[in-house]
Amino acid sequence: MISPACRDALEHWLAHLGGLRDAADNTLTAYRGDVVDFLAFMTQHFGSPQGLGALAEITTGDMRAWMAATRAGGTGARSLARKLSAVKSFYTWLAERQGFEATAVLSARSPKFQKKLPRPLAEDAAKAMIETVEYQSTSDWVAARDVAVVTVLYGCGLRISEALGLTGGDAPLPAVLRITGKGGKERIVPVLPAARAAVDRYLDLCPHPQETDAPLFRGVRGGPLNASIIRKAMAQARAQLGLPATATPHALRHSFATHLLEAGGDLRAIQELLGHASLSTTQAYTAVDTAHLMEVYNRAHPKA
């Protein structure tokens, strides 16, 4: 049970994130769940629903109790770190409006965890994935659709949500796409001829009329294509190819970046193509192919 005042504050905070910061719906849903879990724990911890005044009195010990209980409930360090980040963000916003000191919450230390590096596919595996996805459906137009989606993911480095967000107005695909990604960040992405050709073939076979404002990629009944359909097709293809479970739609985006880097692509340019707000996010890809980077270093640096 959460007090009405806390629930109202939570909804106002989420509206603030969604309106001013243009946070994605999935992000807002995750934040709501994280903060609701925190408030629910505090209600149980203190034996009664906590109003806004009580939230201002939470101590370092209370924070430790919440974090310990969350870990004991099976939540991993990475997920707890995300939950703590959401709670801190909520408290920062709340403290500014209620005029209290939130040091106990904001000083809580995030648990340490090993950052997972991207797991890209090798070039031949990425090509084999595209070829094999075609044989996961007995319907020619569905097979062409799945190939088109996977080719766009790998050829343009799009997130699955971005690819499925394309509309009939984007077809035929131009030489460059204007993509709006996370946080409303807009970027320009070149479109390879292979991606344009795959989409053209899909459009030729698709039985549903293409409308400017309708989704480019359609489900069997003509509605928007669900990402789970592409994940399932890739899961079947990777089983046939003997690829690991990490060979997902998002892995194709990692592969796009890694293969550009291996071919001598500039890290800053790759950052722009991926739509990363920070170069440090893009730099994670450098850890994937340290041997290649050292080879470039030894070959190019005057003192190597």
Active site residues: 159, 182, 250, 253, 276, 285
Distance CA 144, CA 249 (A): 16
Say if residues 68 and 80 touch (Cβ distance below 8 Å). no
How far CA 59 is from CA of 8, 56, 104, 106, in Å, comes to: 23, 9, 5, 11
Residues paired with residue 177 on neighbouring β-strands, in sequence order: 189
Task: Identify residue 104 by its one-letter amino acid code.
Answer: A
Decide: 248 and 234 in contact? Cβ < 8 Å: yes
CA distance 290 to 142: 39
DSSP 301: -
Residue (of 149, 138, 142, 141) closest to 248 by Cα position: 149
Where does residue 252 rank: exposed (0-12), middle (13-18), buried (19+ CB within 10 A)?
buried
* Tokens read off for 85: 């980040």
Return the ∠ at Cα 216 (arms to 25 and 233), rounded to 5°: 80
- The token duo for 19 is 């309106």
How many residues does the structure list for the chain?
A: 304
Rg, Å, the chain Cα set: 23
Q: Which of 261, 233, 257 has the alpha carbon at shortest distance from 247? A: 233
- Tell me which residue has tokens 């077809």: 171
